[in-house]
Amino acid sequence: MSPEGRQAVPTPETMNTAPHFILYVRDQERARAFYEAALGVAPRLHTPGMTEFALPGGAVLGLMPEAGIRRLLPTLPDPSLGRGAPRAETYLRVASPSDGLARALEAGATELSPVRPRDWGDDVGYCLDPDGHVLAFAAPTPTPAVGPAVDLRPLDPEHDVARIAAWLEEPDARRWWGDPVTALTEIVDHDPGTVAVVVWEGRPVGVLCWQVPTREELEDAGLADLPRDLVDVDVLIGETDARGRGIAPEALRQLCARLREQGVRLVGMGAAEANAPALVAYARAGFVPYRDFEEDGEGYRYFTRELAEDA
Ligand SMILES: CC(C)(COP(=O)(O)OP(=O)(O)OC[C@H]1O[C@@H](n2cnc3c(N)ncnc32)[C@H](O)[C@@H]1OP(=O)(O)O)[C@@H](O)C(=O)NCCC(=O)NCCS
């Protein structure tokens, strides 16, 4: 085609400001409250008929009442008739997709798909805003670092019981696992198929155990809505020089892969809000916050990780 025949294609240079994307919403106030909580920022404009949020990079997300667009463009079909049919999505690149999705769910969104690596190179979680618009939180999938050399092996009562007993005496272990004698009994009495010793570079450094909680236990923690076949995991990196090296996250990833092969769909873990290392380690292992709850006056956060559709 000759140069004269080409259409003038607008380039970014021909646009004089960053783009505005406008969602048509049923209730402007409800949509404002949702996006303010989900994005974690106040609107830059909030006036009857239009709410605007400044997005990183300069774009603007607008919220306009459906009634307003009907008045403005009366020849269009009534937008309220299109509710529920996905025709577009807001795809936000954020620092932490898990935090973004958690904030949106907390603000009343409906989860569509949890944060997980997608084949275009992003970790993305999807939800529906209160008007039924698809909202995605994304970040580039981190390149996997070479993880620590971790293996899981069955518990060997003859050699492991004494070392686990010693690990449970350490102050942090005591704080989060409770009385060492009771904790040891629980580990040793566990079905042998549901305990594993965490081995790092050939040396036993910790223990994992997992179980299907009873209805009563879930109810006590206010988690009765979790599925009956949820598998709850406890972790201890007992050798203190092995902490802070990514060993628990790697051990948990390996356990999740094993449980997925056994058909488990959902794995959960609880950590006290004051247990910062555990909160970090669980997130590193791909767990996302599910709900906060209180037990014996201590604030806890329950994390879950879906396994069924993992890559
Ligand atoms: C919580 C625990 C399982 C984390 O395991 P881990 O293999 O150390 O996890 P990570 O290597 O991912 O480290 C997580 C965080 O621990 C903290 N940490 C780092 N070095 C540490 C050390 N020497 N000692 C304690 N915590 C340390 C850091 O905050 C680190 O995050 P960062 O890497 O962003 O700085 C482990 O510390 C542990 O077993 N603690 C005692 C028992 C417990 O709390 N169990 C879980 C709840 S029941």
Which ligand 1 atom sits nearest the alpha carbon of residue 176?
Answer: 48
Q: Of the residues 152, 280, 284, which should be mutated to test ligand 1's pocket, given the most ligand atoms within 8 Å of the CB? A: 280
- Give residue limits of the domains in the chain: 3-140, 150-306
Residues 6+ apart with CB under 8 A from 263: none
Distance (Å) from CA 300 to ligand 1 centroid: 16
With a cut of 90, say whether residue 102 has pLDDT above it.
yes
- Average pLDDT of the chain is 90
Which ligand 1 atom sits nearest the alpha carbon of residue 250?
Answer: 7
pLDDT tens figures, 13-24: 566 677 899 999
Specify the pLDDT at position 95: 87
Which ligand 1 atom sits nearest the alpha carbon of residue 236?
Answer: 39
Mean pLDDT over residues 229-234, rounded?
96
Task: Please tell us whether the domain made up of 3-140 is placed in CATH 3.10.180.10.
Answer: yes
**pTM given for the model:** 0.62
| Alpha helix stretches (DSSP H) within 26-76 | 28-39, 66-72
Which CATH code, of 3.20.20.210, 3.40.630.30, 3.40.50.10540, 3.40.50.150, is assigned to 150-306? 3.40.630.30
Give, in order, the Cα–Cα distances in Å from 196 to each of 187, 268, 291.
10, 17, 27
- In 3D space, the residue among 96, 139, 140, 137 whose CA is nearest the CA of residue 283 turns out to be 96
Which ligand 1 atom sits nearest the alpha carbon of residue 284?
Answer: 12
273 with 257: CB under 8 angstroms?
no
Residue nearest to atom 1 of ligand 1 (CA): 278
Specify the pLDDT at position 4: 40
With a cut of 60, say whether residue 295 has pLDDT above it.
yes
| CA angle in degrees (0–180, nearest 5) for 235-199-144 | 80
Residue nearest to atom 41 of ligand 1 (CA): 173
pLDDT tens figures, 148-162: 899 999 999 999 999
Specify the pLDDT at position 143: 66
